[in-house]
Chains A and B, each alone.
Chain A
Amino acid sequence: MGGQSAGPICADQHDFALWEKRVDALMVLCSGAGFFTVDGLRRALEDMGEEAFETMSYYERWIAAINQNLVETGAYTLEELGQRMDEIAARGPTYAAAQKEAGTDGASHG
């Protein structure tokens, strides 16, 4: 996007939420473990297109790109992901309530 015309720069700043910090950590750890490269992450981000840039937040785009790379490399299957996301939705209405309880394996948690 270098050189395109754009409006004033918004200087608002926020603290990162825990879930955002976890996305950042997943990127560092999964790329460090060889599941994908930073370039793979960037490629997936670019492939999401302009609309994603306008409608999703920074770390929303990152987790989508991390997931895309992990699926491509076979770290888990789409079925596993879909099932798990449904289970998580059933755990509770907020991010805190949707965390797996300590000591459970999550697979049978409802």
Chain B
Amino acid sequence: MPHDHHDHDHTHDHDHGGLSPSGHPYRADNDAPLSYWQRMEIAVRELMIEKGHLTADQVSAQIDRMDARSPANGAAVVARAWVDPDFRARLLADAGDASREMGFDIGPLHLIAVENTEDVHNLIVCTLCSCYPRNLLGLPPDWYKTREYRSRAVREPRAVLREFGLDLPDSTTIRVHDSTADMRYIVLPARPSGTDGMDQDALAALVTRDSMIGTGLPRQP
């Protein structure tokens, strides 16, 4: 079974035992035997620093910047769009600018928001590599990068969604978006019913990562 993500690491997980604070297995890292590719990473980083192309501070600052990005950023954008019709219009016109307007450092990201409605459900994939709105949502989940998801999402999105627990009626049109070039995509999920009167923060807590990729729906209040 081809896996894009590291069968050998799952083996190492047993060596480590426990789970990280986020509930995910730790990766084999500091205490596993040094691998060829880890040596290459160290060598590339050291050479680039010694030659003055990069600094160690830049590397650690970039890691901090990436770590600070999470689906919570996208959830805040979605929740604002649910309560603020003018913002929703700006988000659908240019999701990059709308995200910047909220203060998110998304760099040069070209972002398009696609809106779920009663009749339309959107699903995001990158069949060519692993394009993802990483500057807003953080790094993609492992499954997003797998051969299985990338192969199947464009051909049998309904079967894929059923695997994610989402069985859409035939009356719903599915629009799959393959991130083939310079755009990145975020799904603006439909606001769940029964959320009248909830404030923006409470609404944001309903917005899951998967609901912004299209493999899920927001939580019910």
Contacts and interface: CB of A to CB of B under 8 A. Distances in A.
Direct contact of A and B (CB under 8 A): yes
A15 interface: yes
Contacts of B40: 63-64, 67, 81, 85
Residue of A22, A56, A93, A96 with most chain B CB atoms under a 10 A cut-off: A22
A92 B34 contact: yes
Contacts, number: 204
Contacts of B22: 15
A98 B39 contact: yes
B63 A19 contact: no
Given A3-B151, A29-B54, A53-B4, A9 B30 contact: no
A48 interface: no
A76 to B, nearest CB: 5
A107 B50 CA distance: 10
B37 A54 contact: no
A interface bracket (residues with beta carbon within 8 Å of B) = 35 or more
A99 B147 CA distance: 33
B136 to A, nearest CB: 15
B155 A3 contact: yes
A100 B2 CA distance: 36
Contact of A105 (B9, B50, B51, B146): B50
B interface bracket (residues with beta carbon within 8 Å of A) = 35 or more
B178 interface: yes
A29 B151 contact: no
Interface in B21-67: 22, 24-48, 50-51, 53-54, 58-60, 62-63, 66-67
B66 A10 contact: no
Given A24-B139, A29-B62, A1 B151 contact: yes
Interface of A: 1-26, 28-30, 33, 35, 42, 45, 53-54, 56-60, 63-64, 66-67, 70, 75-76, 80-81, 84-85, 88-89, 92-100, 105-107
